[in-house]
Every structure is written in C-alpha cells, then in structure tokens.
Amino acid sequence: MFKIFKNISKSLGGGKATESKPAAKAGSLLDKVNKGAPATAKAEPPRTPEELCGITPKMPKDEIRAQLKLLFRRYNRSASSLDAKLRGEADKMLDAIVQVREKHFGEI
C-alpha cells in the first residue's frame, strides 16, 4: 500500500524524482508547448491567442478543434496546481483557448 501512495505522490509532483528531471528546468509550461521558445517573454511582443495555441490560418476546423481540445485538457489540469506560476500560466492559456474557440466556432 505504501508503494501506491509513493507512486501517486510522484505522479502529482510531490516526489523528488519529478523535481530533478531536466525537463522541469528547461522553462515554463508555456515554453514547452510553444516548441521550446526561450523564457525571455519580457523582451518579446505580446502574442496573439492563435499563436499561443499553435493555430495557423490554413488549419481546417477539425484540426483547430482537436488542437484546442488537447490544449484544454493539458491546461485545465494545470489550473488547479499548487504552484502559483504554473496556475497563472494555465489561466492565461485557458483564456487564449476560449478566445480562439469563440472566434472560430462562435459564442460558447
């Protein structure tokens, strides 16, 4: 039974094994989704919701819907994180997802 609790705590980020991974040091969660963009967001101009979500003008509606669905699942989980920085990034991404969805598919 102890092994179950240990595995659950590791999967939820409570264990030291998840903190020592190299990917955790690579940057924020937004950086990972944006294909390894550098963490110098202060020097960059603000990005549009479409850019944040990886949506291009030539994408068909089905592909846009699938991309938004994937991003929503990812960031909805992060929105309840205990880490304030991760939670803030998730809130920004969820707002961007809603804006893109309303733009391409109408009001929710």
**pLDDT by residue for the chain (108 residues), tens digit each?**
556 656 666 666 654 544 444 444 455 656 666 655 555 545 567 788 888 899 998 999 999 999 999 999 999 999 988 999 999 999 999 999 999 999 988 887
In 38-51, which positions are buried (b, 16+ CB within 10 angstroms) versus exposed (e)? eeeeeeeeeeebbe
Amino acid in the structure at residue 11? S
Residue 99 pLDDT: 93
CA 60, chain centre distance (Å): 22
- Between helix 84-105 and helix 61-78 the angle, nearest 10°, is 160
Nearest 5°: the CA angle 33, 69, 29 is: 20
Contacts of 27 (CB under 8 A, 6+ apart): 36, 37, 38, 39
Residue 89 pLDDT: 93
Residue 34 pLDDT: 60
Residue 46 pLDDT: 73
Residue 38 pLDDT: 53
